[in-house]
Amino acid sequence: MSELRVRFAPSPTGYLHVGGARTALFNWLLARKQGGTFILRIEDTDVERSTKESVDAILQGMQWLGLEWDEGPFYQSDNFELYKEYVRKLLDEGKAYKCFCSADELERKRELAMKEGRKPKYDGTCRERADQPDAPHVVRFRAPQGGEVAFDDLIKGRIAFPAEELDDLVIQRTDGTPTYNFCVVIDDASMRITTVIRGDDHVNNTPRQIQLYQALGFPVPQFAHVPMILGADKARLSKRHGATSVIAYRDMGFLPEALLNYLVRLGWSHGDDEIFSLDEMIQKFDVNNVGRSASVFNTEKLLWLNAHYIKNCDTERLADLLLPHLSKRDVTTLGGPDLMLVVKSLQERAQTLEEMAERAVFYYNAPQGYDEVALAKFEKEHLLAVFAAVVERLSVCTATEPAAIDAIFKEICSENGWKMPQVGQPVRIALSGGTQAPGIGEIINVLGCDEAIRRLQNAVAFLSSK
RNA sequence: GUCCCCUUCGUCUAGCCUGGCCCAGGACACCGCCCUUUCACGGCGGCGACACCGGUUCAAAUCCGGUAGGGGACGCCA
């Protein structure tokens, strides 16, 4: 058992998006690899924006992906007393002070500074203030001045900030609630987090947090800042780029292992390897191989991976996963063809479960109409002759596998002097309604000869009525 | 504006630390051919990148300096 303790700390203000999922995955991978502990902590200090629904959505996303946490979920809202204690401590030690500046006033100063091209940091008005009126106030951290604050990021290398850049941040709001940067430090310290892996939008917060660790007398953990995920236009991934929620990918028919595999390769690599089982990921993952630059989310590659995992998925599990996508289309498998056979015939042809469900509909619902354009390529007499010949042979057919049925079609062809495409395509249309379907032998094998005959007769009736 | 970070094919990336094996390798996508009863799968091949400029060196994608572009942070949000 190693001492490694990592955490994933989302704020419950929305769903678990792919960026968060990747951060969680990297944390989880490292914990599993080193036999460490993976902790889930919900950062809900912003009571206004945090919702129970978001918490549930995040947990659901984590569970779907199989990213099990060892401790938690912990909620920062349960720790308010603890944070207050530390605020008092810093106040007593003179490491923090009360600030009576109003929010409006600060806002004005910020804008002015921006306009004049200065860094809009707090000007320290209340820093050395002698009087302590009994008035509304926030508490600010007295940031040490001079020198620089640096750290060795596991991904980005050494990063240093001049202390002058760091102003006195608010650690407690007027309403008495603590702020993010303060809570993270206390929680990470009290949970004995050894390695903080998080999005790289936190790089700028890190030096402030380090000062806080030092002021509080806590050991500073290691940091690993993961680059962001961008949309196709290289802008930060957001809703307008399409789906960003992990659960949306589930609903679109992606397998969790495919998303995981895609996510792990986004920003990380292991030589030329592309396909990783969970075990291989755990074994091969290393933060040192995480890239330093942002990466673009590419659905095409995700689809390719998904197709790969569908092809190699256990048929029974796939059938289970497919069920909800079928019922979404009002398809009942009861009394219809064996779902296992259906899935097998489609496994190599679908990139998502949605697509597979779409392609499976015809097995359960006989075609209501036919692809007339495709049908028009054949003479009516030819079609009737073909259907008649096939019906005749199928009615005495005892074949129980696709290859045997295909053999029968070869015989029909040679007996009548037809080429395979002249027979296969019409039959395919009669059975499925369209031209894009599994092989004839496969379809009939799944459907059963009786149902196939029924559909061929329907097609004959349809042609005759024209 | 200030600070921090980033920059190899359209995209994900290998190589960079420890210069030469790299006129830069793999994957997705795209194009072509083969297989084929449609659609797919699969096989083979093609297209395609070291941001730019300068320096160091016998030799630079790799080291150094600068420029440009992109992103992030600058909140009583997280």
- The mean pLDDT of A422-431, rounded to a whole number, is 94
Is the C-beta of residue A216 closer than 7 Å to nucleic acid chain B? no
Active site residue A95: no
**CA A124 to C1' B1, whole Å:** 21
Q: With 70 as the cut, is the pLDDT of residue A335 above it?
A: yes
Q: Is A78 helix (H, G, I), strand (E, B) or coil?
A: helix
% of chain A at pLDDT higher than 90: 76
pLDDT in tens, A94-116: 999 999 888 888 888 888 877 77
- The mean pLDDT of A190-204, rounded to a whole number, is 95
Is the C-beta of residue A108 closer than 7 Å to nucleic acid chain B? no
Band of residue A252 on the pLDDT scale cut at 50, 70, 90 = very high
What does the pLDDT read at residue A180? 93
Residues 20-49 of A with CB under 7 A from strand B: 43-46, 49
What does the pLDDT read at residue A243? 76
Evaluated on CA atoms A23, A27, A33, A38, the torsion sign reads negative
**CA A171 to C1' B73, whole Å:** 18
For residue A179 the two structure tokens come to: 């702020």
Between CA A83 and CA A172 the distance in angstroms is 9
Catalytic residue among A33, A52, A121, A239: A239
User: E strands along A374-416, which residues?
Assistant: none
Smallest CA–C1' separation from A117: which nucleotide?
B1
Predicted ipTM of the assembly: 0.94
Is the C-beta of residue A114 closer than 7 Å to nucleic acid chain B? yes
Amino acid at A301: K
Band of residue A238 on the pLDDT scale cut at 50, 70, 90 = confident
Band of residue A127 on the pLDDT scale cut at 50, 70, 90 = confident
Q: Which of A127, A75, A60 is nearest to A100 (CA)?
A: A127
Q: With 90 as the cut, is the pLDDT of residue A242 above it?
A: no
**CA A308 to C1' B28, whole Å:** 12
What does the pLDDT read at residue A119? 75
Is the C-beta of residue A51 closer than 7 Å to nucleic acid chain B? no
Strand B nucleotides where any atom sits below 7 Å of a protein CB = 1-8, 10-15, 25-29, 36-42, 70-78
What does the pLDDT read at residue A33? 95
**CA A114 to C1' B38, whole Å:** 65
Between CA A20 and CA A85 the distance in angstroms is 31
What does the pLDDT read at residue A302? 97
pLDDT in tens, A344-368: 999 999 999 999 999 999 999 999 9
Band of residue A185 on the pLDDT scale cut at 50, 70, 90 = very high
What does the pLDDT read at residue A1? 52
